[in-house]
Amino acid sequence: MRKNALSDEILMAVEKPARYLGNEYNAYHKDFDEYPVKAVFCFPDVYEIGTANLGMQIIYEQFNENPEAMCDRVYSPWFDLDKVLREKKIPLFAVETQRPVRDFDLLLITLSYEMCYTNVLQILDLSQIPLLSKDRTEEDPIIFGGGACAYNPEPIADFFDVFYIGESETQYDQVIEVIKKAKKQGLTRLQTLEALADIEGLYIPAFYEAFYKEDGTIGSFLPVNPHAKEKVKKQAADMRKDLPYPHRPLVPYERGMMDRASLEVMRGCIRGCRFCQAGMIYRPQRNRDLDFLKQAAKDMLEATGYEEINLGSLSSSDYSELKDLLDFLVPYCEERKINIGIPSLRIDAFSLDVMSRIQDIKKTSLTFAPEAGSQRLRDIINKGLTEEEILEGARQAFSGGWNKVKLYFMLGQPMETDDDVSAIPVLADKIARVYYETVPKEMRQGKCQIQASTSFFVPKPMTPFQWAAMQSSDEFIRKAKLVKEGILSQLNRKSLIYHYHDDHQTELEGLLARGDRRVGKTILRAYEKGCIYDAWNEHLKYELWLQAMEETGVTFDFYNYREREEDEIFPWDFIDIGVTKGFMLKEWRKAKQGLTTPNCREHCSGCGAACYPGGVCYENKD
């Protein structure tokens, strides 16, 4: 039996030792010495969150299916173990082999949200790997970053050797090939990075240099190595192909964030919500094959014994074969007493019928994401959802037996006025009124419950709102108070609940999402001051972040509060996501005029993503 990296004394002393054991059912446990390319995959947050991540499961599968590679895993040690590792100078280890992370050839870090950046530094630090790419030697692993945050990698460019821009399925086999050859031929680290730069979609930050204008904006951003391309092209997989998928996902012993199988029915989204980064970077919308999904669902449930399967996508109602998939899945799961979860369904007669079959309607709530309270603002953000649709959906749901509704909104979107903000409680109240009108007194089980939540808006890179100014913390809080007061003055206020998301976290998220290379120093300084687990509100040390900003000369004024000129060069402009900057600019201008844009199925707007094969752009065309 392999020996644990930690003694029993340590394991018994830390919370949830199973986080560090790597002994889950379905773990690959490939032998370290047997394969030429040794990779370790990292999710820079705590184990329960990391194991639930589908992207991680796909890469883990893809690497381990490759006959030349083995792939282990590592997650952020929780505070208790972090302390022990530092005190006892135990190098951070991969969970399956229990070997130090620094012994591997590749460390692949997935970046799902900006607030994990200090955890990336924690991982490198505890692994005893130099934090800065330029300080690493031939002995150190090559550090890869990927995932949603890689679409603006600049704030963390100093910490990574390579970024993989886009979906993992297309290029990692080639990466494995290059690493294998490089090791065999004894290439230097620089030569290996140059060979990697030749692969489309890979970005080596050290091969580029940014020059700044006097006003602080970027003057130019240019390759300084002959292997570096001027533009790095996003990778999008052709979903019609038989792609790697975790047919036998890991089964953690401890209750995770998601104790269930996840079935990704499609990628991308046909709706062009102007605030939504995922909606742009994953364009074009691509369906997975129905038979593939049926098989994957069966395989996963049989191989894990999970009691729940979750259909994942940005907007599942837009999956073209949803009805057929559910006609298969609902009876299959009913027979086996398996629950089905389908978040992100649009509320209509079809989805209500489906939900009444798969859920306990007394317990579940209905979810709408109007994102804005007024129709005016919903048009500006291009959220194709009208008040009539919301109220009609609610009416049908209430007659069907539901009495709980959740509403999601964002505060601080561009062009938002106080009237738009005040429309939020009014909409919530209208829904409550529909309940009392629709459901006769004798049928009611108490009051209905309308829960409105607001988050604060971050204008994200690679969206039509990338030019917009982000609002300040004070403004956010003022607006949240406006909503709160509004709720309290409604007729049905006793049926309404209101929550809002933390403003400090959002401000920092804005900085980290929109920043350039100069923000890297701030992140490093914040980490040195003791910031980790910033994504956990209770662990965010906002004051330390403010100090780090001050000491490194980085301000919210420049990065967050400033509306950017139409011709400004963005730090992320060198990444080509298919969707063109020209299209996004057109969308930004249309937003200012309150004009909407139809979704991809209604009418193609020629955004540029048609350069990728096999998606909605070619529906009904072949």
Partner 1 sequence: MKIRIKFQKQGNLKFIGHLDVMRTFQKLNRRAGIDIRYSGGFSPHQQMSFATPLGLGLTSSGEYVDFDMNSVPDKKTFLQMLNDVNVEEMRLLDACLLPDDAKNAMSLLAAADYTLTFREGHKIEEGFYEAFEAFLSKDSIPAVKKTKTGFREVDLKQQIRRAERRPEGLFLQLDTGSVSNCKPEFVMETFYETWGKDYDPFMFMINRDELYGEEEGKLKKLIEYGSDF
Q: What is the CA radius of gyration of the chain?
A: 25
**3-class DSSP state for residue 387?**
helix
Q: Cβ distance 452 to 425 under 8 Å? A: yes
- The residues with which 251 forms a beta bridge, in sequence order, are 25
Number of residues that bind ligand SF4 (CB under 6 A): 11
* Residue 200 interacts with, from ligand SF4, partner 1, none (CB under 5-8 Å by kind): none
Q: Which of 616, 620, 621, 622 touches ligand SF4 (CB under 6 A)?
A: 616
607 binds ligand SF4 (CB under 6 A): yes
Residues 256 to 315 in contact with ligand SF4, rule: CB under 6 A: 283-284
What's the rounded Cα separation, in Å, for the pair 614 and 520? 37
Angle at 615 between CA 377 and CA 238, to 5 degrees: 130
Q: Which of 34, 357, 605, 621 binds ligand SF4 (CB under 6 A)?
A: 605
| Residues 585-604 contacting ligand SF4, CB under 6 A | 600, 604
Which of 172, 287, 342 shows the shortest CA–CA distance to 615? 287
Nearer to ligand SF4, 473 or 605 (CB): 605
Nearer to ligand SF4, 305 or 606 (CB): 606
Nearer to ligand SF4, 133 or 466 (CB): 466
Q: Tell the smallest beta-carbon distance from residue 96 to partner 1 (Å).
A: 12
> Based on CB atoms, which residue is closest to partner 1, 213 or 336?
336
Q: Which residues are near partner 1 by CB under 8 A?
A: 1, 4, 8-9, 11-12, 17-18, 21, 23, 25, 251, 253-255, 259, 301-307, 336-337, 339, 360, 363
610 binds, among partner 1, ligand SF4, none (CB under 5 to 8 A by kind): ligand SF4
From the CB of 93, what's the least distance to partner 1, in Å? 14
Considering CB distances under 5 to 8 angstroms, the limit depending on partner class, which of partner 1, ligand SF4, none binds residue 8? partner 1
Q: How far apart are CA 333 and CA 461, in angstroms?
A: 40
| Cα–Cα distance measured from residue 325 to residue 319, given in angstroms and rounded to the nearest whole number | 10
Q: Does 617 bind ligand SF4 (CB under 6 A)?
A: yes
Per the rule left: phi > 0, alpha: psi between -120 and 50, beta: everything else, 592 is: alpha
Nearest alpha-carbon partner for 270 in 322, 313, 321: 313
The option from partner 1, ligand SF4, none interacting with 360 (CB < 5 to 8 A, set by class) reads: partner 1
Q: Which does 391 bind (CB under 5 to 8 A by kind): ligand SF4, partner 1, none?
A: none
**Quick one: what does residue 607 bind among ligand SF4, partner 1, none, with the CB cut-off 5 to 8 Å set by partner type?**
ligand SF4
**How many CB atoms within 10 Å of residue 133?**
20
247 and 296 Cβ atoms separated by less than 8 Å? yes
CA neighbor of 24 nearest in space, from 214, 266, 291, 306: 306
523 binds ligand SF4 (CB under 6 A): no
Indicate the residue among 334 and 563 with the shorter CB distance to partner 1. Answer: 334
Residue 283 is classified by DSSP as P
How many other CB atoms sit within 10 Å of the CB of residue 176?
23
Determine the Cα–Cα distance for residues 171 and 179; give it in Å rounded to an integer. Answer: 13
**Chain residues in the site for ligand SF4 (CB under 6 A):** 283-284, 600, 604-607, 609-610, 616-617
